[in-house]
Structure 1
């Protein structure tokens, strides 16, 4: 097996800090979120707007699924330019708007939150930095509570943002079972960082080490996580990656499939697994592609050339925690295997300002 020197990687270290960090995130922020949700309920707010960029947007995409599955609230992902550049006429007076930025300097996210607050909506600013632009906007402020992130490739801040967004959806669902699923996050993350799973990830990397492109497939929560997997692979190892919903891919993109593009597919939700399984079986038959399956169910591990078996508890919404850990480990190891530094991607800044 290829030998990986992870001893100097800040990303690797911060990935492994996540169990305790997420316990702290939940302990500190759940009471704050419960208080905000009381106002949402009292005002009968029926719409949610989620705004972020990069990894923050991907964390919110997981939340969008949760909001619309577990609550009755129509939830949208914001396109900030509608407000910042195009003079959009949006009425946010009866909207819960959650804006997320690791550094807190996202001027476009700030502007959307400011519009919501000025119109009388409920604006929530979420950052990891206490002293930042976004600390000065919104009806409420939440800190990610994950500490300073030294790796430029966001890991623990993304996980924290995702958990915070899921807590909002869980509390507003008024379903204790949903909330208990989110509270499992620290334990599932810890189990997903066990030596056995790390070795499975390491064993899978050589299949992808020398390729130019990687395809990622999933549906529902797994598609949402696949978007972050895509980003992590690209910024850490300079490998082209593309995530598709397993129901979108057959509508055109499948024409680009070829045996030189290996596929990673996620199976962690029995409600959505079937469509992904059928698609993977088709492209394996038609194009002889190499595959890696990431799943929590032993019965699927023989479907692919390589497999990563997550904890059984990583099912449905709780599956996101295991999938994210896989994505982080995989991106870090692929970067090292290709001779790069996952902590300092070329051209990437920890503070990126757009408007």
Structure 2
């Protein structure tokens, strides 16, 4: 088999590129700071985030950042209220951030154009500087991840997380110094956790049902994990906040359920202890990923280097990507070309 036809080759390469991409993004964060200064000048009263797919999980992460670090209320937009129902709310003094790796999603373009007409300060966060979305928005942030060949997003997703963190941190007057160690920590996470990921692949290769869960900032990682496992390995995967999991869905968890728990060091990880005790009592097979994985009940653990809690999702998603890649290959699939999927979602 030629190298070009090797299943998972692109996804493997793109997972490995992430430490260098993070370093490049940090080296050019001055451009992001300029966008942040414009946002700070406008003093928005509310933030609205529009996205689809993996970008929607990045937007969820940004929602936590905005509410916790900026003390600004934030919400996730429902694009169909604009595209299908023609809603035109007053967005005066609202910050509208549209997140799209391709910048080519028609519904996000319509939401951004409508939002700008309705008074919002619009910001596009994309990996394509000449995209229609960038042209429609007043301001734009380039995530600088380079072209992604695999259909499943890896490096574009993590670069979006880091770009959003740098943007929000700069709005509050920060310099991104807490993110400085991220490239080296990412390299460590990808290398040191490889054996634990391989063991997890062997353990879960025949799983048919998986629940992913987390609290706080890491909830974005749990949502992305469910998507990655579903689209590359065709697992039936569902993401829940740890708090929501205990309010009903835990009743459906049993010994045949694999649970992937994202547990960073910090308040979010601390809040997962009681959740996973309850899940463990149901007999579930728990795989804990994160810098706080050693402090929760789990049958298998994949460690991640510790960093500031608000940056943990940037690192936590790396072994998640490796796990999705490994499971797909072990199950005889090609994660570079998931069945029936395309790179750009053309919804309206």
Same fold (TM over 0.5): yes
Given the superposition, is the C-alpha separation of residues 298 and 220 from structure 1 closer, same or farther in structure 2, using an over 3 Å criterion?
closer
Q: Residues 207 and 298 (structure 1 numbering): CA distance in 2 closer, same or farther, change over 3 Å? A: closer
Partner SS for 1:31: helix
The CA distance in 2 between the partners of 1:55 and 1:96, in whole Å, is: 21
Over residues 204-232 of structure 1, what are the superposed CA-to-partner deviations in whole Å (9 max), with x where a residue is unaligned? 11221111111112101111210001101
Tell me which moved more, 156-165 or 132-141. 132-141
CA–CA distance in structure 1, aligned partners of residues 30 and 306 of structure 2: 29
TM-superposed CA distance for 1:61, in Å, is: 0.9
SS of 2:193's partner is helix
The answer to whether structure 1 residue 268 and structure 2 residue 267 are counterparts is: no
The answer to whether the 8 Å contact 1:208/1:214 transfers is no
| Equivalence map 1:121-200=2 (5 Å) | 121-176=120-175, 179-194=176-191, 196-200=192-196
Q: What residue in structure 2 maps to residue 87 of structure 1?
A: 86
Q: Distance in 2 between matches of 1:184 and 1:94?
A: 35
Return the alpha-carbon distance in structure 1 between the equivalents of residues 279 and 62 of structure 2: 30
- CA deviation digits over 1:37-66, x for unaligned, max 9? 222222221211111100111111111111
Listed as ranges, the gaps of 5+ residues in structure 1 are 1-5
* Alpha carbons 2:8, 2:325 under 8 Å: kept: no
Matching of residue 293 in structure 1 with residue 288 in structure 2: yes
Q: Distance in 2 between matches of 1:111 and 1:63?
A: 21
Aligned residue for 2:61? 62
* Secondary structure of the corresponding residue to residue 45 of structure 1: coil
Question: Do structure 1's residue 311 and structure 2's residue 310 form an aligned pair?
Answer: no
Q: How many Å separate the matches in 2 of 1:38 and 1:238?
A: 43
Q: RMSD of aligned C-alpha atoms?
A: 1.8
Distance 1:281 1:72, change over 3 A: closer
Check conservation: 1:15, 1:328, Cα contact below 8 A: yes
Partners of 1:148 and 1:244 in 2: CA distance: 31
2:211 and 2:237 in contact (8 A); partners too: yes
**1:124-170 Cα distance to aligned partner (Å, 9 max, x none):** 12222344322320112232211110011110111111111111211
Separation in 2, partners of 1:13, 1:88: 42
Give the drift of 1:187.
2.2
- Assess, with a 3 A threshold, how the Cα gap between structure 1 residues 275 and 297 changes in structure 2: closer, same or farther: closer
Find the aligned partners of 1:243 and 1:69 in 2 and give their Cα distance. 22
Give the one of 335, 339, 343 matched to 2:336.
343
Distance 1:161 1:312, change over 3 A: closer
**Structure 2 residues not aligned, in runs of 5+:** 1-5
Please say which of residues 47-56 and 136-145 is displaced more in the overlay.
136-145
Deviation at residue 85 of structure 1 after TM alignment: 1.6
1:217 equivalent in structure 2: 213
Q: Who is 1:3 aligned against?
A: none
Which of 325, 328, 343 pairs up with 2:318? 325
Whether the 8 Å CA contact 2:92–2:119 is kept in 1: the answer is: yes
Distance 2:125 2:269 in 1: 32
- How big is the shift at 1:185? 2.4
How many Å separate the matches in 2 of 1:150 and 1:132? 18
Structure 1 residue 316 displacement after superposition: 1.0
2:203 to 189, 201, 207: 207
Residues 318 and 136 (structure 1), Cα distance of their counterparts in 2 relative to 1, 3 Å cut: closer
Distance in structure 2 (CA, Å) of the matches to 1:116 and 1:89: 8
Partners of 1:213 and 1:262 within 8 A in 2: yes
Any conservation in 2 of the 1:46–1:72 contact (CA below 8 Å)?
Answer: no
- Counterpart-to-counterpart distance in 2, 1:278 and 1:100: 33
Q: Distance in 2 between matches of 1:275 and 1:141?
A: 35
Shift of 1:292: 1.0
Cα 1:135/1:41, change in 2 over 3 Å: closer
Structure 2 residue matching 1:48: 3-state secondary structure: strand
Looking at structure 2, the residues matched to 85 and 159 of structure 1 have their Cα atoms a distance apart, in angstroms, of 30
* 1:247 aligned counterpart, secondary structure: helix
Q: How many corresponding residue pairs?
A: 343
